[in-house]
Amino acid sequence: MQDFSRKRICVFSFFIVVSLLAFAQSTATIQGTVSDASGAVVPNATVTIHNIDTGSDRALTTDAQGFYSAAALPVGRYRIEVKSQGMQTAIVNDFRLEVGRVGEQNFSLKVASTSQTVEILATLPVVENTTVSVGTVISQKTVQEIPLNGRHFVDLALLTPGTVTPPANGFLTAPLRGQGSFAFNSAGMREDQINYMINGINMSDPVQNQITFQPTINTVQEFKVDNSTFSAEYGRNAGSIVNIATRSGSNDWHGELYDFLRNHALDARNFTNPKGVAQAPFKRNQFGGDGGGAFIKDKLFFYGSYEGLRQRQAVPLTTTVLSDAQRTTVNTSGDAVVRRLLSLIPASNSPGNIFVSAATANVDIDQGTGNLSYIFSDRHRVNMYYALQHDLRGEPPSTQGNNLPGFGDHREARRQIGTFNDVMSFGSRNGE
C-alpha cells in the first residue's frame, strides 16, 4: 500500500444498502422449475427454502411456467421442500449455496395416491449454466484451513485460474510490511482494475482503487473472484470482482483461539546477512479469537473476532564506509567540522570496507470485527457488519535510500468499514 503521509491516516467508509430482492453481491440465489413425470410444468407448487444454520424459511410458489426464484439469500446450507396437491413431496437436503452464485435445483414430481416424500441428493453442477460469468469460489474450508505465511487474505486469490503472482515492485502489488500485498493481477488486467467488495459493499480505496484493508481470515465465510463476463450489476471496474461474504452466527455457538508463531530460529539466513555476523532477529506472532452464535434462536445472531499481530524484525543493512587509510587522512586534514562528522560514520566490520548492521522494523496491528443479523420474518432480515483496524509500524532506513543506522520513521494508520443490508420480500410468487 502506498503511504501518502507519515501522519495518522483515517479511512472510514460507511454505506447503507437496501436490497429489495435485488441480487445483492455478497448473497446468492436459488432457482429452478417444478414439473411432473411427463415434463409438464406444475404451477402454484409451494416451495419452502430452509436455512439449516439459522432456521429461517423463505416460502414461495411457482408461477404459470413452474418457475421459482429466491434471491438475496445468505450463503450457507439449505433444505428445499416442494409440495403440490396430489403429488409426492420432494425434498433436497444440504443444498450448499455459494457467494455470488445462482444455484439451480429442478424438481420432477410424481403423482401420489397417499402422502409420500422423496428425498433428492443435492449436487453442485460442474458448469454453472444459469449465468455467463466466469469465476471461482474459494470455500470456507479452504479459507480457514490452507496454510498462509502471514495469513493475508489477498494471497488466496492466487488459487483462482487467470490470476498471477504480482511483481514485488508493482504499482499496488509491493507488499506492505506485516500486511502483505494489497493487490494482484487477474484476467490480463492491471491491479488497479480489480474491485473488492465485502457484504455487497465496495471496499476499494477511491484514490488508487486498492483494497482498503485485508479482512481477518477467520471472519471470511467464503469469497468469489469473477474475472470474466460478470453481470452488469457490478460495473465500475473492467478487471476482476472479488466478492467477500463474512461469517455470521448460527443457532449453534462455536469459536476458536489461536496463536501463530514464526521466528529467526526457524528461518534460513538472509542473503544479505552473511555468516560471521549475528543473524538478524525476527519474531512474528499472530494471535486472536473469534466466535458467535444465537442470542435469540432463529432470530438474532452475532459473530465477532479480534486478531493481533506483533512483528519484531531487524532488517539487515550493508553499506560501504571509509577505509582505515581514508579515516586517517580525514583526521589529519585539520578540518574540525569534518573530524566531528567522521565520528558519526561507523567503521567497517566486514571485509571490503563494508559495515553490516540491522535496523528495527516493528509492526503492531490490531483488528476487530462484529457481525449482527436479525430475522424479523421469513420475508424480512437485516445484517450489520463493522470492522476496525489500527496499525503502527517502523520503517527502516533502506526505505529512504539510506543504509546507515539511526534513520527510518514510524507510520500509523486507522481504517474502518461498516455495512448495513436490509432485505425484504413483498410477495411469495416466484420470489417477488
Identify the pLDDT of residue 163.
Answer: 84
* C-alpha dist (Å) from residue 89 to 57, 108, 109: 17, 10, 7
CB 318 within 8 A of CB 356: yes
Over residues 188-197, the mean pLDDT reads 84
Over residues 56-74, the mean pLDDT reads 91
Cross-sheet strand order for the sheet of 220-228: 134-138, 220-228, 241-246, 195-198, 201-202
Residue 369 pLDDT exceeds 70: yes
pLDDT band per the 50, 70, 90 thresholds, residue 387: very high
Residue 414 pLDDT exceeds 80: yes
62 CB-contact burial (10 Å; exposed 0-12 / middle 13-18 / buried 19+)? buried
Domain residue ranges in the chain: 320-355
Q: Running DSSP on this structure, what letter comes out for residue 251?
A: S
Q: Compute the mean pLDDT over every residue in the chain, rounded to the nearest whole number.
A: 81
Identify the pLDDT of residue 386.
Answer: 94
| 272-307 burial: b if 16+ Cβ within 10 Å, else e | ebeeebebbebebebebebbbbbeeeebebbbbbeb
